[in-house]
Chain A
Amino acid sequence: MFQKSSPLSPLSVEEQHVAGHDDVETVVGPSVHVEGDFASEGNILVKGTVSGNVQTTKRLTVEPSAKILANVRAGDAIISGQIKGNIRVANRLELTQSAQVLGDIMCQVFVVEAGALVHGKVSMKGMDMEEDKTEKTRLTKRPKVREENEPTEMQVNPI
């Protein structure tokens, strides 16, 4: 949409090349407060406060001073600020050392830097491992409970 020199971001240099950081489309400034559901088709850079759901199919970057007080959905996300709500990221979620998340996380690739704080459930896609086997066997070995009306062998009348 427009070209702009690269703003500050916790992305590594290699990743900036891959992701093409020049195409940040929506920027929420440091003293700006956004109220309501906030959706964009491009990259979002949050430096201020957002009280409402944030949604993008591309990359979401939350700067250290930023706050999001609702659920977040993004293609990729780099979180350095505070989020009070559930996070659902389709690909890669990165929490830097200043990140604070109060809510459940769902993503495919999860990168956490030392110092990041998470309070919630983390689920990741692509799990091949089967469910816990001891739990399964316990369930299968449990004696069958007959229902009251179910006929037993003894109750079957000969024709």
Chain B
Amino acid sequence: MYVYLYDEILKQKKFDGTVKAMETRLTDYGIAGKIIRLQQFTNAQAVIEDEMRKGATTIVIVGNDRTFGHVLSRAASCKVLFGFLPVGADNTIADVLGISLGVEGCDALSRRRKVQLDVGWVNNRYFISQLHIFPHTIRVQYDERFIVSSKRGKMELVVCNLQPFVWKGKGKQEYVIHPQDGKLEAFLRPLERRGLFGEVYEEPSVFPFEEMTVTSSSPFVMEADGKETKETKVTIRLAKKRIEMIVGKERQF
């Protein structure tokens, strides 16, 4: 049985046509199912566990990168097959997974090409797309082996899993992350100076890792899957092959 988790943005009128076309396509394929509309404070894990008890075998997230992160950051521990139907703007993860936007995404879903994806684990919760620590004086220890610091003091840290890291320094350099390589990628950018037109960063340092500890003497702001928190110590780990996911043929890994 399929269960579809709709993001609240799909209530907007501009998505009516796409949603109706998708529902028709899913019915044609014989994979239509129950629709649950997510609210801002919906606990996705509780909803999914409840649906699993009722016999759900496939949970399909319908929305954008934010929806994807919001659902899976809580529900990654659920042993169920996940699918994704990207709708609207902000859909970078769909490209990595090889799922087309809108109605065409239903084709990938019907083919049920399954892979197991690695996810990140940070302070007792999962993150799927990207973790971001804003410029701060931090000290980073990798795999309990070496410590990285910057001579300039403040550093920005981005840990990528599924969402590509875009460095807007000299031109747009886009990195494609392979979620199944058994490592997370950390991009460290020391803050060079604060200019008139924003902050100027040095070129990034890249370290693949399995476990990393970020510490600071004062609290720093961390954003994981769109959720901001303040921390003084963060341990980031890799949870290997945690999620079983339906992907498209043109996936980038």
Within 8 A of A (CB), among B172-197: 173, 175-178, 181, 183, 185, 188-190
Does B42 belong to the interface (CB within 8 Å)?
no
Question: How many residues from A make CB contacts under 8 Å with B?
Answer: 26
Interface string of A18-56 (1 = CB under 8 A from B): 000000111111111111111110100001100010000
Is A29 touching B203 in the complex (CB atoms < 8 A)?
A: yes
Within 8 A of B (CB), among A42-88: 42, 47-48, 52
Is B202 touching A2 in the complex (CB atoms < 8 A)?
A: no
**B residues near A, CB below 8 A?**
145-152, 173, 175-178, 181, 183, 185, 188-190, 202-208
Q: How far is the CB of B50 from chain A (nearest CB, A)?
A: 38
Does A5 belong to the interface (CB within 8 Å)?
yes
Is A36 touching B146 in the complex (CB atoms < 8 A)?
A: yes
Task: Tell me the complex Cα distance, A25–B184, Å.
Answer: 11
CB-CB < 8 A to B208: which residues of A?
A: 1, 25-26, 40, 42
User: Chain A: which residue is nearest B207 at the CB level?
Assistant: A26
Majority secondary structure of chain B interface residues (helix, strand, loop or mixed) = strand
Is B176 touching A3 in the complex (CB atoms < 8 A)?
A: yes
List 5 contacting pairs A-B, 8 Å CB cutoff, sorted by A.
Answer: A27-B206, A29-B189, A29-B190, A32-B151, A47-B203
Q: How far is the CB of A22 from chain B (nearest CB, A)?
A: 11
Q: Which of A26, A31, A33, A48 has the most CB of B within 10 A?
A: A31
CB-CB < 8 A to A35: which residues of B?
A: 146-149
Q: How far is the CB of B143 from chain A (nearest CB, A)?
A: 9
Task: Tell me the complex Cα distance, A27–B207, Å.
Answer: 7
A38-B145 CB under 8 A given contacts A1-B183, A5-B173, A32-B188: yes
